[in-house]
C-alpha cells in the first residue's frame, strides 16, 4: 500500500516556541525549516509513500519544501493543527478519492525512510492507527485507510485521545526516528544522538546543543529530487 502523507507546518517565526531557550529568534525559524526539510526528504525517500502534502501558509517553507518534491496546501482554515490536518486530508481525497492518508509531524529531523516504511506497513493492517511519540504522551503519526476519515486529535495528551478515538496503537520497536519529535532542547539532543538529516545538522552545528561531542553526527543526504526517486505529483 502506498500512502499520501499530510505534514502540517506552522509559520516558521511562530513555530517551536518551546525551543526558545535553545535557539533564539534569529536562528529558530531556520532550525524549524531544517526539521521540516529533513522530515520531508526522508518521507519522499520512503518506498511506502507516494506523495507528501505540506499544509502551511509559510511562503519560504512552501518554496523550500516544494523544491524537495512536496505539494503545498495552504492552511485555509487557519484554525489550528487539527483543522489544518483535516483540510489537508480532504484536499488529498478530493484529488485522489480513497487514498490512504497519514498525518506526520514536521519536527522529526532524525526520520529514516526505512523506519517510516515499517510504521506505514504496520498501519496498513488497521482501519486507523497511530504511533506514540518518544515521550509517550503525544503522537507523531496517525494513519487512515482509504475508506476512513483521518479524525486527527493531535495536541496535549494526543496518545490517549487517539486511543480513545478507536485508532489502533502501533507498538512496533526499532522505529525511534519516527517517534523522536523535537519540542525542547533535550528533544533536540536526543534527535542529534539518533543522527539527524543534513539540513538540521548544518543549522544545529551553530548552536551550543549541536556542537558537543555526543551524537551520531549527520547522516548522508537522502537522495530525492533530481537523480533520486521522484514522488508522483498530487494532481
Ligand X SMILES: C=C(OP(=O)(O)O)C(=O)O
- Binding-site residue numbers for phosphoenolpyruvate are 139, 155, 158
DSSP string for 171-198: --SS-HHHH---SSHHHHHHHHHH---H
183 makes contact with ligand X (CB under 6 A): yes
105 makes contact with ligand GTP (CB under 6 A): yes
139 makes contact with ligand X (CB under 6 A): yes
106 makes contact with ligand GTP (CB under 6 A): yes
Please name the helix (run of DSSP H) or strand (run of DSSP E) that holds residue 73, with its range, or none: strand 71-73
45 makes contact with ligand GTP (CB under 6 A): no
Count each helix (H run) and each strand (E run) in the chain, helices first. Answer: 8, 7
DSSP SS3 for 131: strand
The residues, any chain, with a CB within 8 Å of residue 87's CB and separated by 6 or more, are 55, 73, 75, 76, 77
Stretch that binds ligand X, among 21-29, 87-95, 151-159, 164-172 (CB under 6 A): 151-159
130 makes contact with ligand X (CB under 6 A): no
- Please, which residue, 64 or 181, has the CB nearer to ligand X? 181
Q: In Å, what is the CA distance from 147 to each residue of 44, 51, 84, 168?
A: 24, 18, 20, 16
- Please, which residue, 51 or 107, has the CB nearer to ligand GTP? 107
Q: Which of ligand GTP, ligand X, none binds 139 (CB below 5-8 Å, type-dependent)? A: ligand X
Which residues in the 17-36 window bind ligand GTP by CB under 6 A?
A: 17-18
* CB of 181 vs ligand X, minimal distance in Å: 5
- Please, which residue, 188 or 192, has the CB nearer to ligand GTP? 188
55 makes contact with ligand GTP (CB under 6 A): yes
Name the pairing type of β-strands 101-104 and 139-144: antiparallel
| Candidate residues 47, 78, 80, 155; the one interacting with ligand X per rule CB under 6 A | 155
Dihedral angle over CA of 3, 134, 18, 120, nearest 10? 0
* CB of 120 vs ligand GTP, minimal distance in Å: 18
How many Å apart are CA 89 and CA 199, to the nearest integer? 27
Amino acid at each position: 500500500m502506498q500512502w499520501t502523507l499530510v505534514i502540517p507546518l506552522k509559520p516558521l517565526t511562530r513555530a517551536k516556541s518551546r525551543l526558545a531557550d535553545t535557539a533564539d529568534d534569529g536562528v529558530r525559524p531556520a532550525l524549524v525549516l531544517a526539521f521540516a526539510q529533513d522530515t520531508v526528504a526522508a518521507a519522499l525517500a520512503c518506498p511506502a509513500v507516494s506523495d507528501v502534502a505540506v499544509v502551511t501558509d509559510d511562503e519560504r517553507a512552501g518554496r523550500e519544501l516544494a523544491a524537495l518534491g512536496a505539494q503545498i496546501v495552504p492552511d485555509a482554515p487557519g484554525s489550528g493543527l487539527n483543522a489544518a490536518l483535516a483540510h489537508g486530508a480532504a484536499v488529498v481525497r478530493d484529488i485522489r478519492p480513497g487514498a490512504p492518508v497519514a498525518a506526520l509531524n514536521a519536527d522529526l529531523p532524525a526520520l529514516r525512510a526505512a523506519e517510516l516504511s515499517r510504521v506505514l506497513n504496520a498501519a496498513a493492517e488497521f482501519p486507523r492507527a497511530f504511533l506514540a511519540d518518544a515521550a509517550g504522551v503525544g503522537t507523531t503519526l496517525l494513519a487512515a485507510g482509504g475508506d476512513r476519515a483521518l479524525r486527527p486529535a493531535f495536541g496535549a495528551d494526543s496518545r490517549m485521545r487517539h486511543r480513545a478515538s478507536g485508532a489502533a496503537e502501533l507498538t512496533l520497536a526499532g522505529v525511534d526516528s519516527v517517534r523522536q519529535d523535537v519540542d525542547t532542547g533535550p528533544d533536540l539532543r536526543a534527535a542529534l544522538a539518533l543522527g539527524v538529516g543534513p539540513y538540521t545538522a548544518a543549522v544545529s552545528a551553530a548552536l551550543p546543543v549541536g556542537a558537543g561531542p555526543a551524537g551520531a553526527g549527520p547522516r548522508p543526504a537522502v537522495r530525492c529530487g533530481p537523480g533520486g526517486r521522484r514522488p508522483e505529483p498530487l494532481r
